């Protein structure tokens, strides 16, 4: 059988079946089409302006590496006039971050972009390894997500840059849509689908130029351009809702490859239908600390493996409580109308500065400081106390023993 | 009176032995039935008889003869009968039951006549009890022939000399993927039921979707690019055709309805047993609807509340308003993007400009469109 020719240029031999639509195309056409699609995303959403300084949130993984490569290419091809640089966050996860940071450093040389690396250790006094040692393997994604979000903003601020681009791809966005449907979190669904998120709590704009790019195509692009990237998923990452959504999406992609894009489309429409008051629920609207950023291979979230079970428990107990309640009915129309009339006057969040660190926050104390508080309060004073014979020392030791047992169980 | 020793008394009435456990409560048969009925009645209590309820609302209940819609009919029938026994009570509504011939939907050897008759005999409160075949969509919605022709594109030749049944079968067979076929079948079925409802001047349709089904429909709708239509596909409210859609079973899961069906004698001869989705089918050959149903059922065993919450979440979305309010001639969804979604994907950006009056979701299921 003669080799299939590319359906696009009709000359070269097709070597790629596009995951997105199963078209058979050649290498050159694939690279060009992929870049053009990202270009269209950028231009139709007016992401950049000429002369803008843009920081690429770089983790050394495939998404951010491809993002950096494509942006460099497009910047030169279409004269965006962007001043690009790489911004990396060192979470302090040994065996995961050490190697990927090396990759980012090589990328900086390859793409001739300045690089800024910011560590959790220097920012917060806690590396992720230390956080995990303290709180265990469950629930640490919350810390990582909140810290990273701020770290990117702080890094950008340090460089005097107002726009950070991240490597979120179509699979990530689709996952977020499904995950938040499962979690019943419409405000996050809404935020996760928009290409630009102006975080309510800082003046730094974030965007995802790869929002419509399939993860599989990103891998293909990286492969065919022989990009230098690092492949390991974060070693700390059991997460129920995102995991469940991810499995679903992988299955959907097998059935109908376009599903990923279709979910993104659904998410975009649904985001516009989210009732306003819901987005202010629990005072958690678009604060900078609230939305997680990419870079963390498998868990951009803030939840632990037991989250699904915990929510189930919560819902069940709500229901139990509901059945014990006596419903008191108010006259039907009056309160509803008042609610509707009051709609324009939704409580908006006022931006203030965190009392502790001065970072912009919608609360008196920003989320990162709240988490840090909890961590610092329980920080065992191991090195100092462990060898001491006095009462205090032994009680510290006992507490540590208890902790060990807890972690083991 | 000496008290009778019971091993596990009903937690509600404490007079009877409990026979099953639902939502962590052990209940007797009566209390369980009352619990289920309450969940349904609460959803339709706005159809209370009033003093001057003239004209009486006409309501359609599409009955698939499956578990959920049969249970719904059973409950509504018993409520209506109780109400009728009370003196001087006005009617709350006229109930019309519609069965779309299941053999015209998917060919099978099974006859459903006896089930249909059993339903008719066991639930006598319905004003009318009608069965129609799937292809009667051409009678009740005369514009469907033209719409199908447009939709199927140049590859499809419609032979006007053939019967409606053959023409519908020919159209349905142009669609090859399991997902698109199931998607279009449900679109056509909805259109048929709506057209019939309008034909007999019904103002509302009571769909028998359990909360499991609604959760699966929500997830599948999102996965098929039909997110904007969820506001009427799984939410109570006005449909694009001016008939209200209501889902009175939205507080009950499929397993709970199965429990109910298991203890009510009146349902015995009515329900056509459902063939379970085989575990042996490769995922890629499933339809998206089946995949989601399977997901919701398996996850629901462990996380019933989380799954129930999915449709509640979708129910919170506000009804969609479009940029230009043009509606898909096939499924009734908006053809343009929802107002407020200006930067997102559009029909034109994905499929080009010559797609006629169809929406994103329907174009995706079109025969010639690459999946």
DSSP A89: E
A198 is in an annotated binding site: no
Residue B322 C-alpha, separation from nearest chain A C-alpha, in angstroms: 10
- Identify the sign of the CA torsion A131, A96, A150, A115: positive
Instruction: Indicate whether A9 belongs to any domain.
Output: no
Q: Which pLDDT does position A132 carry in this prediction? A: 84
Dihedral sign for Cα B2, B7, B12, B16, please: negative
Best probe of the B interface among A179, A267, A273, by most B CBs < 10 A, is A273
Rounded to an integer, what distance in angstroms lies between the CA atom of residue B287 and that of residue B178? 5
Our CA angle for A223, A225, A229, nearest 5°, is 60
Residue A34: name the closest of A44, A47, A46, A20 by CA: A20
pLDDT of residue A1: 64
A246 inside domain: yes
CA dihedral A104, A106, A112, A114 (to 10 degrees): 40
More confident residue, A242 or B365: B365
The token duo for A364 is 């008196």
Residues in chain B with pLDDT values less than 50: 1, 371
Separation of alpha carbons A228 and A221, rounded Å:
12
ipTM of this model? 0.93
CA dihedral for A245, A248, A250, A255, sign (positive or negative): negative
A65's CB contacts (< 8 A; 6+ apart) are A58, A103, A107, A167, A222, A227, A228, A229
| Nearest CB to B316; choose among A266, A278, A309 | A278
Residue in the structure block whose two tokens are 């270009």:
A39
Torsion of CA B111, B114, B119, B122, to 10 degrees: -160
Token output for A55: 């920081």
Of residues B226, B283, B306, nearest to A266 (C-beta): B226
The Cα of A222 is separated from the nearest Cα of chain B by a number of Å equal to 24
Closest residue on chain B to A271 (Cα): B341
How far apart, in whole angstroms, are the C-alpha atoms of residue A97 and residue A103? 10
Q: Which of A262, A314, A315 sits opposite B223 (nearest CB)?
A: A262
The structure tokens listed for B363 are 């174009």
**CATH 3.40.50.620 placement within chain B:** 56-322
Q: In what order do the strands lie in the sheet with B128-132?
A: B128-132, B94-100, B58-62, B204-206, B244-246, B237-238
- What distance in Å separates the CA atoms of residue B348 and residue A196, rounded to the nearest whole number? 22
What's the domain range around A294? 33-307
Give how far the C-alpha of residue A20 lies from the chain's centroid of Cα atoms, to the nearest Å. 23
Report how far residue B212's alpha carbon sits from residue B293's, in angstroms, rounded to the nearest whole number. Answer: 7
Residue B252 vs residues A63, A227, B159, B271, B298: alpha-carbon distances, Å: 42, 52, 45, 18, 16
The answer as to whether A140 is a domain residue is yes
Structure-model confidence comparison of residues A238 and A234, the more confident one:
A234
Spatial distance between the Cα atoms of A300 and B313, rounded to a whole number of angstroms: 22
- Taking each helix axis as running N to C, give the angle between helix A170-183 and helix A259-271, from 0 to 180 degrees, rounded to the nearest 10: 60
Query: How far is it, in rounded angstroms, from Cα A355 to Cα A372?
Result: 14
- Tell me whether residues A262 and B364 touch, CB distance under 8 A: yes
What was the pLDDT predicted at A86?
95
Report the distance separating Cα B114 and Cα A18, nearest Å: 52
Structure tokens at B100: 């779309």
Chain A nearest-CA distance from B341, in A, is 6
Among chain A residues, CA nearest to B300: A312
Please tell me which of the candidates A195, A270, A314 has its beta carbon nearest to residue B227: A270
Q: For position A297, what pLDDT does the model report?
A: 39
- Closest CA of chain A from B56, distance in Å: 22
List the single best residue of A266, A320, A324 to mutate versus B (max B Cβ within 10 A): A266
A63 is in an annotated binding site: yes
- Find the helix or strand (DSSP H, E) in which A57 lies: strand A53-57
Whole-Å CA distances, A341 to A241, A244, A321, A336, B71: 36, 39, 31, 9, 40
Instruction: Give the sign of the dihedral formed by CA B139, CA B62, CA B292, CA A270.
Output: positive
Please indicate whether, in this complex, the C-beta atoms of A255 and B23 are within 8 angstroms of each other: no
Contact A184, A175 (CB under 8 A): no
CA B269 to chain centre: 21
Asked if the Cβ–Cβ distance from B339 to A44 is below 8 Å, we say no
Counted across chains A and B, CB pairs separated by less than 8 A come out at 165
Q: Is residue A409 part of a domain?
A: no
**Architecture of the CATH domain B56-322:** 3-Layer(aba) Sandwich (3.40)
Structure confidence at residue A290 (pLDDT) = 37
What phi and psi values does residue A90 have, to the nearest 5 degrees?
A: -100, 100
Please, are residues B165 and B133 in contact by the beta-carbon 8 Å criterion? Answer: yes
Residues B282-323: tens digit of each pLDDT: 888 899 999 999 999 998 988 888 999 999 999 999 887 766
Rounded-to-integer distance, Cα B298 and Cα B275, Å: 16
Is A263 labeled as ligand-binding? no
Which candidate from A244, A272, A312 shows the least CB-CB separation from B341? A272
* Short-list A399, A364, A404, CA closest to A378: A399
Distance from CA of B127 to the nearest CA of A (A): 31
Residue of B nearest to A277 (CA): B316
Select the residue from B223, B231, B346 to test the A interface by mutation, using most A Cβ atoms within 10 A.
B223
Cβ atoms A134, A379 nearer than 8 A: yes
Average pLDDT score over chain A: 79
Distance CA A308, CA A182 (A): 9
Cα Rg of chain B (Å, integer): 22
**Any known ligand binding at A60?**
no
Closest by CA to B135, choosing from B96, B163, B175, is B163
Q: Is A100 annotated as a binding residue?
A: no
pLDDT digits (tens, 9 = 90+) for A22-77: 899 999 999 999 999 999 999 999 999 999 999 999 988 899 999 999 999 999 99
Total domain count for chain A? 1
> Nearest 5°: phi and psi at B107?
-60, 130
* C-beta atoms of B306 and A182 within 8 A: yes
User: What is the structure's pLDDT at A404?
Assistant: 56
Neighbours of B161 (CB within 10 A): 6
Interacting residues of A131 by C-beta distance below 8 A, sequence separation 6+: A140, A143, A144, A375
For residue A174, give the chain B residue with the closest CA. B223
- The dihedrals phi and psi of A356, each to the nearest 5 degrees, come to -90, -50
Alpha helices in chain B (DSSP H): 29-41, 67-85, 102-105, 113-122, 137-140, 144-152, 164-173, 178-199, 211-223, 230-233, 254-263, 288-302, 304-315, 347-351, 360-364
Of A178, A257, A319, the CB nearest to B23: A319
> What is residue A315's predicted lDDT score, i.e. its pLDDT?
85
| Closest Cα in chain A, distance from residue B154 (Å) | 22
3-state secondary structure of A386: coil
Out of B291, B338, B339, whose CB is closest to A252?
A: B291
A172 among annotated binding-site residues: yes
Peptide bond into B26 cis (omega under 30): no
pLDDT at res. A121: 85
Q: What is the pLDDT of residue B183?
A: 95
> Is there a domain that residue A395 lies in?
no
DSSP A171-206: HHHHHHHHHHHHHT-HHHHHHHH-SEEE-TTSS-EE
CA–CA gap between residue B195 and residue B158 (Å, rounded): 22
Q: What is the pLDDT of residue A400?
A: 58
Question: What are all long-range contacts of B113-120, with beta carbons under 8 Å and residues at least 24 apart?
Answer: B114/B269, B115/B65, B115/B269, B115/B270, B115/B271, B115/B272, B116/B65, B118/B269, B118/B270, B119/B63, B119/B65, B119/B70, B119/B73, B119/B270
Which of B197, B241, B233 is closest to B319 using CA atoms?
B233
Question: Inter-axis angle of helices A215-224 and A62-77, to 10 degrees?
Answer: 70
Residue A194, domain CATH: 3.40.50.620
CA distance B342 to chain A (A): 9
A44 contact residues in B (CB cutoff 8 A): 343, 349
Closest Cα in chain A to B223? A263
Contact B317 A270 (CB under 8 A): yes
B204-206 vs B58-62, strand pairing mode: parallel
Asked if residue A155 belongs to a known ligand binding site, the reply is: no
Cα-based angle B75, B77, B78 (whole degrees, multiple of 5)? 65
pLDDT of residue B77: 94
Alpha-carbon distance values, B230 to A80, A278, B202, B307, B358 (Å): 39, 18, 22, 16, 17
- Please list every residue in chain B whose beta carbon sits closer than 8 Å to the beta carbon of residue A271: 340-341
| Residue (of A354, A252, A362, A244) closest to A303 by Cα position | A244
Cα distances (Å, whole numbers) of residue A142 to A189, A299, A354: 17, 10, 19
At B135, give phi and psi (nearest 5°): -75, -5
């Amino acid at each position: 059988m003669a080799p299939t020719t590319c359906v696009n240029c009709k000359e070269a031999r097709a070597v790629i079946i596009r995951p997105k639509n199963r078209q058979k195309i050649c290498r050159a056409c694939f690279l060009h089409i992929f870049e053009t699609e990202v270009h269209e995303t950028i231009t139709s959403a007016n992401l950049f302006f000429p002369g803008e300084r843009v920081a690429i949130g770089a983790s050394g993984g495939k998404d951010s590496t491809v993002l950096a490569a494509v942006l460099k290419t497009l910047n030169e091809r279409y004269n965006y006039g962007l001043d690009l640089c790489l911004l990396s966050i060192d979470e302090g996860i040994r065996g995961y971050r050490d190697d990927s940071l090396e990759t980012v450093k090589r990328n900086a040389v390859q793409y001739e972009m300045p690089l800024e690396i910011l560590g959790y250790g220097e920012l917060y006094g806690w590396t992720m390894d230390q956080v995990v040692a303290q709180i265990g393997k469950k629930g640490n994604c919350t810390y990582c997500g909140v810290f990273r979000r701020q770290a990117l903003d702080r890094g950008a601020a340090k460089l005097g840059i107002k726009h950070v681009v991240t490597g979120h791809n179509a699979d990530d966005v689709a996952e977020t849509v499904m995950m938040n449907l499962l979690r019943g979190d419409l405000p996050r669904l809404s935020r996760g689908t928009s290409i630009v998120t102006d975080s309510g709590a800082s003046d730094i704009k974030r965007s995802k130029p790869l929002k419509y790019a399939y993860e599989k195509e990103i891998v293909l692009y990286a492969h065919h351009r022989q990009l230098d990237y690092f492949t390991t998923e974060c070693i700390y990452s059991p997460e129920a809702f995102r995991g469940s959504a991810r499995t679903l999406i992988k299955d959907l992609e097998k059935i109908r490859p376009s599903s990923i894009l279709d979910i993104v489309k659904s998410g975009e429409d649904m985001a516009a239908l989210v009732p306003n008051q819901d987005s202010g629920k629990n005072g958690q609207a678009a604060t900078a600390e609230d939305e997680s950023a990419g870079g963390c291979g498998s868990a951009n979230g803030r939840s632990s493996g037991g989250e699904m079970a915990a929510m189930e428990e919560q819902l069940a107990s709500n229901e139990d409580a509901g059945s014990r309640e006596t419903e008191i009915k108010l006259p039907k129309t009056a309160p509803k109308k008042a609610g509707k009339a009051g709609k324009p006057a939704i409580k908006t969040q006022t931006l203030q500065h965190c009392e502790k660190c001065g970072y912009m926050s919608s609360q008196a104390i920003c989320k990162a400081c709240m988490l840090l508080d909890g961590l610092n309060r329980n920080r065992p004073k191991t090195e100092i106390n462990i060898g001491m014979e006095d009462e205090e020392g032994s009680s510290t030791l006992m507490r540590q023993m208890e902790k060990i047992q807890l972690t083991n169980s | 009176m000496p008290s009778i020793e019971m091993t596990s008394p009903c937690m509600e009435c404490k007079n009877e032995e409990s026979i099953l456990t639902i939502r962590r409560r052990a209940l007797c048969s009566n209390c369980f039935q009352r619990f289920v009925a309450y969940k349904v009645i609460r959803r339709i209590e706005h159809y209370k008889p009033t003093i001057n309820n003239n004209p009486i609302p006409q309501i359609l209940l599409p009955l698939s003869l499956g578990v959920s819609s049969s249970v719904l009919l059973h409950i509504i029938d018993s409520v209506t009968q109780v109400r009728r026994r009370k003196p001087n009570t006005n009617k709350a509504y006229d109930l019309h039951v519609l069965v779309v011939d299941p053999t015209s939907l998917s060919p099978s050897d099974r006859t459903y006549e006896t089930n249909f008759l059993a339903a008719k005999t066991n639930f006598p409160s319905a004003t009318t009890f009608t069965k129609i075949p799937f292809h009667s969509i051409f009678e009740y919605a005369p514009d469907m022939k033209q719409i199908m022709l447009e939709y199927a594109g140049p590859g499809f030749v419609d032979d006007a000399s053939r019967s409606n049944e053959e023409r519908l079968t020919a159209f349905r067979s142009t669609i090859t993927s399991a997902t698109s076929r199931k998607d279009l079948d449900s679109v056509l079925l909805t259109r048929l039921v709506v057209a019939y409802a309008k034909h007999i001047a019904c103002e509302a349709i009571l769909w028998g979707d359990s909360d499991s089904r609604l959760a699966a429909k929500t997830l599948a709708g999102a996965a098929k690019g039909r997110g904007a239509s969820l506001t009427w596909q799984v939410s109570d409210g006005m449909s694009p055709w001016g008939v209200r859609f209501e889902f009175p079973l939205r507080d009950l899961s499929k397993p709970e309805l199965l429990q109910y069906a298991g203890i009510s004698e009146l349902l015995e001869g009515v329900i056509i047993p459902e063939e379970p989705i085989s575990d042996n089918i490769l995922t890629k050959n499933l339809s998206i609807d089946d995949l989601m149903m399977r997901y919701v059922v398996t996850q629901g065993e462990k996380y019933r509340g989380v799954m129930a919450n999915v449709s509640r979440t979708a129910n919170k979305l506000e009804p969609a308003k479009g940029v230009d309010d043009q509606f898909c001639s096939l499924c009734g969804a908006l053809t343009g993007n929802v107002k407020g979604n200006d930067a997102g994907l559009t029909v034109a950006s994905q499929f080009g400009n010559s797609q006629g009056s169809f929406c994103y979701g329907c174009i995706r299921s079109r025969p010639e469109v690459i999946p």
